Amino acid sequence: MRFHSLLLWPLAARAVNIISSNDDGWAEVNIRALFESLGDAGHSVVVSAPAENQSGTGSRQKTPAALTEPCEFDSCPTGSPAVGFNASEPRLGYVNSYPVTSIKHGIESRAPEFFDGPPDLAVTGPNVGNNIGLAVYFSGTAGAATYAAHAAGIPAIAFSGATGSQTSWNTSRPHYSDVYAELATNLTNQVVAAGKPYLPQDIWLNVNFGSVSDSECTDPEDFSFVLSRIHVAVPLITPDDVTTCGSSRLPSEIEVSLASGCHASVSVGVASSKNDANATMQGVVLKKLSNFLTCLS
């Protein structure tokens, strides 16, 4: 089942070139769902993701090597080359290495095959499971996004979802996967619609979607997006955040995740450190997304 939000309507005139990766692997259902959703919205997308599940590998890199066993979910056979792509859809590519190496290869080698220039935007995920707080230091999904933003100078958004488990692309698609794909597409559309520069230099967004169940938060329209901070603020030490919703302290991602209702936290981070951006940079994002964000009730 696919969703078609009203938030998608302006995209035809604002389509951009996007490089996509994750740490769960190129054949995991979430990245394939997002590939389709972004494509349906008019964007040109190239996937360059690990051949296998590389969760928890952070910002590590290594030279890709030929496969000594099949890719995840038997998506490529033993003996396959170090880098490859889907024969029927060449925009779906794998790299037998870590997430950062995968997106680096995508930016430098794969994107030029399809784009007239470098990617306009990088998206990673949706990750299987949230990447909240300290988890961003270890997440390969976050690592790939921060590499794109810091080393390659490409605005980047990392998406993660609380619900789900490692699932193959060629099984019946879980409902949550379509919900997360549309939510990610909606936020991507808003960032693009706000105009260039999509994000300040060395800034990335860490986005975490709440749980989806059969009875609650079943539709993308159920969710509200809340500006947040990655790390819990330390009283009297952490500088003030941007002032919004009547406060100079943003809720942390963990606060948003624990709040009742259907929420997605949107945190503004510094790619080089994976720490929270200052109030000025938060303010830039707040201004871009002001009509899209809500207060945490």
- 268: phi then psi, degrees, rounded to nearest 5: -100, 115
At 141, the amino acid letter reads: T
The domains found in the chain, sorted by start residue, are 13-288 (3.40.1210.10)
pLDDT tens digits in sequence order for the chain, 297 residues long: 333 344 444 444 489 999 999 999 999 999 999 999 999 999 999 999 999 999 999 999 999 999 999 999 999 999 999 999 999 999 999 999 999 999 999 999 999 999 988 999 999 999 999 999 999 999 999 999 999 999 999 999 999 999 999 999 999 999 999 999 999 999 999 999 999 999 999 999 999 999 999 999 999 999 999 999 999 999 999 999 999 999 999 999 999 999 999 999 999 999 999 999 999 999 999 999 999 999 997
- What pairs with residue 158 in β-bridges? 124, 206
Helix (H) or strand (E) holding 280: helix 279-288
With 0-12 / 13-18 / 19 or more C-beta atoms within 10 angstroms meaning exposed / middle / buried, residue 283 is middle
For 118, left (φ over 0), alpha (ψ -120 to 50), or beta?
A: beta
